[in-house]
Structure 1
Amino acid sequence: MEVRVFLVEDLLRMRGLLDDMFASLGGIRVVAAATTEAEARLWLDENPGEWDVAVLDLVLEQGVGMNLIRHCKKVRPDGHVVVFSGFATPGVRKHCLELGADAVIDKAETASLIGLFDDLRKKVNAGP
């Protein structure tokens, strides 16, 4: 079984890099991507059961990824929310976790993101 990812990232190059990384890991598929907060909210509302993990950048073309954390948990309480941002300072990290994020990873810590997805993929494949 695949881990389905909803990606909220406004930089085309970063989306491409993440797509490549997920493809190389195997068992992970990006099901949709959004570049703005409004676009992400709309997709989440229309597809509540179509994702397992939301990967959110904090600084978007329009809007803020931080505002999406609670919305993700509202539409899919069992979904995982991962903030992947270049602004993951200790204060931002704490606030995101308080809002309901399952993990906050700085974009400089790609190995941590890979490890997190490796663990998620194993859990999904292990089944109930």
Structure 2
Amino acid sequence: MQAPRLGTALQPFVNLQAFVIEDNPTIRENLVGTLEELTCLRVAGTSATEDEALAWLAANPQAWDLIIVDLFLKQGSGIHLAQRIQRARPGQKVVVFSNYINASVRKRCAQIGVDAVFDKSTEIDALVEYCAHQCYRVSQAQAA
């Protein structure tokens, strides 16, 4: 069965909590607005640094369904952060969203357990579709 397109009646019945780690305030605000408008994601928190993100995640291990992390942060590294993220429950997803995506970055992300990788400059629509599909997946699991 194929996931519904954006804006279907299925989306309002589920809200997934996201945590966005992005150091550019303009990109962060635009990304949050886009995802909250077009998918069932609600952003539970944001961070610009690895240390802030780790502190939030340690204090809120159950409070997120999806993490979106950039590779280059104000302080720290998105790759290092992705390696350190502890999933407290099944179904939690980690996504890398960066301008610096190439084959070796995709391979490294796969090796450390990142669920998906998207290039900021060419794959924003794919990120939105991925998030919408997560909404659909969770809504189907809840309906079962």
Say which of 77, 96, 111 aligns to 1:98.
Answer: 111
**Larger C-alpha radius of gyration, 1 or 2?**
2
Q: 2:130 aligns with which of 71, 95, 116?
A: 116
- The answer on 1:36 being equivalent to 2:52 is no
Tell me, yes or no, if structure 1 residue 55 matches structure 2 residue 68.
yes
Return closer, same or farther for 1:121/1:33 CA change in 2, 3 Å cut-off.
same
For residue 76 of structure 1, give the secondary structure of its aligned residue in structure 2. Answer: coil
Partner amino acid, structure 1, of 2:137: K
Q: Which runs of 4+ in 1 moved over 6 A?
A: none
Q: AA paired with 1:84?
A: F
Verify the 8 A CA contact 1:82 1:104 in the aligned structure 2.
yes
Select the structure with the greater relative contact order (CA < 8 A; seq sep ≥ 6).
Answer: 2
- Secondary structure at the aligned position of 1:83 is classed as strand
Partner residue, 1:18: 31
Q: Is the 8 A contact 2:39 2:132 kept in 1?
A: no
Aligned-partner Cα distance in 2 for 1:110–1:44: 25
Residues 10 and 36 in structure 1, CA contact (< 8 A), matched pair in contact too: yes
**TM-score between both structures, scaled by the size of structure 2:** 0.84
Equivalent residue number for residue 87 of structure 1 = 100
- Partners of 1:7 and 1:26 in 2: CA distance: 15
- TM-score by structure 1 length? 0.94
- Cα deviation, residue 71, structure 1: 2.0
Q: What residue identity is the alignment partner of 2:101? A: A
**Matched residue pairs, number?**
127
Identity of aligned residues (%): 34
What is the alpha-carbon root mean square deviation over aligned residues? 1.2
Deviation at 1:77, TM superposition (A): 5.2
Instruction: Please give the alpha-carbon distance, in whole angstroms, between the structure 1 residues aligned to 2:53 and 2:125.
Output: 26
Q: Which stretches in structure 2 are left out of the alignment for 5+ residues?
A: 1-13
